[in-house]
Structure 1
Amino acid sequence: MRNKLCFLVLLILQFGYAQQYDSVVIEKDSIDSNNQVYKVGNVYVFDYEIIKNGISKKLKTNSNDGFELVNKTSDSVGVAKIHLLVRPSIDSPRTNENQTQISYMQGPEFGSFSSTGVVDNSSNVWIHPIRSGFFESLETCPFPFVKKPLSIGLEWQDAMSIGEGWGNQLWGEWSGQLLLSYHYKITGKESITTDLGVIECYIIESKADSKLGTTTLKSYFSDVYGFLRFEYELLTGLKVTMWVVDFMENKAFNDTMTFFKTKEYLKQ
């Protein structure tokens, strides 16, 4: 009986650690309609680079079956841009309950897509990063997250536990669960030059501490567009930078069957 009780306690603790970001305010109603920046029909196109040993790289291939890095200037780059779509959840259930449905696609071939969620309301904005192939590495870092009202100097903390399946020799390996303790702070406000123009952004500096060390994310948040730039540093010193190069709104999306047939995600 005692062994069964101990097992139950450990199981409860494991599920407790697995809870994602307990401080995130997630609404149960008006999940899509009250979004302030990540509105259904929005499309964000990100460029990116991966800095390894001081050399800028991109992905030749990238899937859950594996990935290959090549120099950024190589003719064999296969993943040139990352597209984030804020999709309506009419024909299929939400991937994450009570979160606005988003999909990530890797261009220019658009061979597949992965769906997850974003929380966007008057209390906070919190978004799942892309997590396919190489980008599983971002699971070890703080997620993009900002509390409201936006105020320089505002600080908050949170935590999450992730399984060993997210590990890799390139960005860190571990056994069992890895507890990440997050700290966030809005450190300033800056007008940054983007492909969309000069845009005023709040700067959020965050870190995730664990038994393996510390990862960091510096993010740039616009109260008009959302997150426009991410600067990650992983446990092994690897750096990943992503920035918005195009933005569209009020778009209609093809259904899944049409997408795989045409490789076009926007309705014509």
Structure 2
Amino acid sequence: MKNDNSNDVKNFVNKAYFYKIVADSIISKDKILMLKYYDFESFNPGQSTIAYDYCNSVEKCEEIIIKNKSANNFTHYEMTGVIIKNDKFWMHPPRSDNFRILEMNAFPYIEFTSNTWDYELNFGNHWGDKKWIEWEGRRTSKSNYKVIDTKKLYKLGSNYIECIEIHIDTIIPDLGNTKSIFYYNSDYGFVRMLFTTIDNRKIEFNLTIVGLDSNL
């Protein structure tokens, strides 16, 4: 695969990424996901910080940005980690409230020098819930990532952007399987994230708008 990723986290800050959420009734109250990148280390060593907020409209998400700017602080519903380097882009998916179910799916991740790669994640039973599945002790998910298409087109606004399409199968011994599909673009990061969960639910995040903080 051609390594055309010259971005680091600085290229993504000062922007707000708005995703339309497509999901079943368990998450239907959440209409818009807002993703923000920050150029400082997260509580996870070696990772920069990303933040997620959930809003009923883009305007409501913009109010969060304006409030944070006026108070000169960083208050978000969920703050977690991302790794952006010349050879890879890896990030935590949303994992608050009912999105905790995504701990058992593959995380958004691309290696720019490979067409296939593996990733393992060890996690505890606090990610379980009677609404999807419960277990005792810890489990390890094993995900196999495969590039399917390096020139997949995705419509963002009135334009089509070129993406790398990645399919992932995840096996969790004694628990079950999950599937994920990601579209990655070098300018916007992961623009589409599709998850088939441990209980066969469908959750999608589709990037619709990218706004500059200075315009809000």
Contact kept, 8 Å, 1:171 with 1:238, in 2: the verdict is: no
> Aligned letter for 2:42?
R
Out of 142, 157, 179, the position equivalent to 1:216 is 179
Distance in 2, Cα, partners of 1:196 & 1:102: 27
Would you say 1:130 and 2:91 are equivalent positions? no
Aligned-partner SS, 2:139 = strand
Partner of 2:162: 200
Distance in 1, Cα, partners of 2:194 & 2:187: 20
Question: Which stretch of structure 1 is more off in the superposition, 178-187 or 35-44?
Answer: 35-44
Give the share of equivalent positions with the same residue, in percent.
24
TM-score, normalised relative to structure 1: 0.66
Partner of 1:240: 203
Would you say 1:102 and 2:65 are equivalent positions? no
- Deviation, 1:143, is 0.1
Contact kept, 8 Å, 2:8 with 2:85, in 1: the verdict is: yes
Between the two proteins, the alignment pairs up a number of residues equal to 193
Larger C-alpha radius of gyration, 1 or 2?
1
Partner of 2:117: 156
Structure-2 change in CA distance of 1:44 and 1:58 (3 Å)? farther
Q: Output aligned runs, 1:253-268, within 5 Å.
A: none
Out of 34, 42, 46, the position equivalent to 2:19 is 46
Structure-2 change in CA distance of 1:157 and 1:221 (3 Å)? same
Distance in 2, Cα, partners of 1:58 & 1:162: 22
CA RMSD of aligned residues (A): 2.4
Which whole-Å deviations, capped at 9, do the CAs of 1:59-104 have from their partners, x for residues lacking one?
Answer: 3xxxxxxxxx5xxxxxxx4x22110111243xxx632222121111
- Deviation, 1:197, is 2.0
Gaps of 5+ in 2: 1-5, 65-74
Gaps of 5+ in 1: 1-32, 52-56, 60-68, 70-76, 253-265
TM-score, normalised relative to structure 2: 0.80
Distance in 2, Cα, partners of 1:106 & 1:222: 23
